[in-house]
């Protein structure tokens, strides 16, 4: 599953593009001393989400180990009704049918 499925496409801020298009001979920007970049709130949120995803392990080894131990002891039980419900919800969400 991609994070882009949850995050709407974000329009880039045109202020940065306008600053890039300004001619170099324009000394008013240089007189200020330093360049400045302003990020929109949406851009900042996307950066935070990317950091969270990068810091999250792809596999939760503690959970995998616990499930392996339950299976070995014969204690792991599968609820067939819960599995069927999840399969139907997944099927409906992929097909785009109404009624969710």
pLDDT digit string, tens, across residues 40-86: 888 889 999 999 988 888 888 999 999 999 999 999 999 999 999 99
**How would DSSP label each residue in 74-99?**
T-----HHHHHHHHHHHHHHHHT-S-
What pLDDT score was predicted for residue 15? 53
What pLDDT score was predicted for residue 88? 94
> 0.75 exceeded by the pTM?
no
Asked if 50 and 10 touch (Cβ cutoff 8 Å), the reply is: no
**Which of 38, 53, 39, 41 shows the shortest CA–CA distance to 5?**
53
The CA-to-CA distance between both ends of the chain, in Å, stands at 20
Q: At CA 15, angle to CA 13 and CA 21, rounded to 5?
A: 120
């Amino acid at each position: 599953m991609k994070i882009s499925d949850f995050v709407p496409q974000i329009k880039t801020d045109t202020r940065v593009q306008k600053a890039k298009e300004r001619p170099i001979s324009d000394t008013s920007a240089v007189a200020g001393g330093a360049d400045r970049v302003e990020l929109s709130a949406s851009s900042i949120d996307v950066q935070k989400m990317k950091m969270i995803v990068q810091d999250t392990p792809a596999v939760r080894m503690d959970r995998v180990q616990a499930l392996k131990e339950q299976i070995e002891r014969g204690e792991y039980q599968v609820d067939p009704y819960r599995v069927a419900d999840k399969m139907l919800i997944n099927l409906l969400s992929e097909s785009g049918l109404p009624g969710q």
